Amino acid sequence: MKLVIINYGSGNLHSVHKAFEAVNNNLENPYEIVVTNTPSEILNADKLVLPGVGAFQDCKNAIHKIDGLFESLEQVVIGEKKAFMGICVGMQLLAEKSLEFGECEGFGWIPGEVIKIEAPADYKIPHMGWNEVTFSNHELLNNISQNTDFYFVHSYYFRTQKNENCIATTKYPNPITAAVLKENIFGTQFHPEKSHNNGKQIITNFLEWEPS
């Protein structure tokens, strides 16, 4: 089985790669982990991970700059329904659009939009640090306790159009989407690769996940 981590120059690529490797090494049947932006490799993936930090538009442009990258992703994730995980901006890109630095279209794989966090004046933006996550039951959140802390760094969040696509939230102090899910497409606003043992558990769950 092949797990592809998409390399389009994202700043957290190395951290994501190392965290997935650390978890993968403990699996009974480890994946072959490939970090790449080559469409032919992506088309052969069994699972995909899209990291992302920085501005929405910059990430989107960086993906579209690589010939055939988005098309191959779309074929594997939408066409062939392979398990996909987006992290931070890699998750926000799933939305129809983002309002960060003007309006910018996303992949449109999950209905909703990415908007600025609205918080009282004494709340710092970005929302940065460890915050508690509550979630609905799903195998992707197996072996995680309610109100467990995960590491967040963001100023915008994904407001899903449908409640069913938001499977985890945090509070700052208003509810903020912490994880999204639609069929084979999973995404976390927090950084599992930086969330210590709880983050590793999320990665384990994703590696063991077989979306029906």
Partner 1 sequence: MLKKRIIPCLDVDRGRVVKGVNFVDLIDAGDPVEQAKIYNSEGADELCFLDITASSDDRETLFEVVKKTAENCFIPLTVGGGVRTIDDISRLLHHGADKVSINTAAVENIDLVAKAAKKYGSSTIVIAVDAKKNGDKSWNIFTHGGRNPTDIDALEYCIEVANLGAGEILLTSMDRDGTKIGFDNELLSTVSSSIDIPVIASGGVGNLEHFVEGVLKGGASALLAASIFHFGEYSIKDVKTYLAEQNIAVRI
Binding site for partner 1 (CB under 8 A): 11-12, 14-15, 18-19, 22, 53-55, 58, 89, 124-132, 149, 151, 153-155, 171-172, 191, 193-197, 199-200
Give the count of alpha carbons within 13 A of 4, CB side only. 24
Minimum CB distance to partner 1, residue 107 (Å): 19
| Nearest CB to partner 1, comparing residues 16 and 94 | 16
Q: What 8-state DSSP symbol labels residue 93?
A: T
Minimum CB distance to partner 1, residue 53 (Å): 5
Helices 13-24 and 196-208 pack at an angle, to 10 degrees, of 70
Distance between CA atoms of 151 and 202, rounded to whole angstroms?
A: 12
Token pair, residue 20, equals: 């997935």
| Nearest CB to partner 1, comparing residues 111 and 129 | 129
Minimum CB distance to partner 1, residue 37 (Å): 15
Distance between CA atoms of 163 and 157, rounded to whole angstroms?
A: 14
| Nearest CB to partner 1, comparing residues 76 and 168 | 168
Active-site residues: which are they? Answer: 88, 191, 193
| Nearest CB to partner 1, comparing residues 11 and 111 | 11
DSSP string, 102-170: S-EE---SSSEEEEEPP--TTS-SSEEEEEEEEE---GGGTT--TTEEEEEEESEEEEESSGGGEEEEE
Minimum CB distance to partner 1, residue 130 (Å): 4
Look at residues 175, 13, 184, 171 and name the one whose alpha carbon lies nearest to residue 87: 13
- H or E, element range at 201: helix 196-208
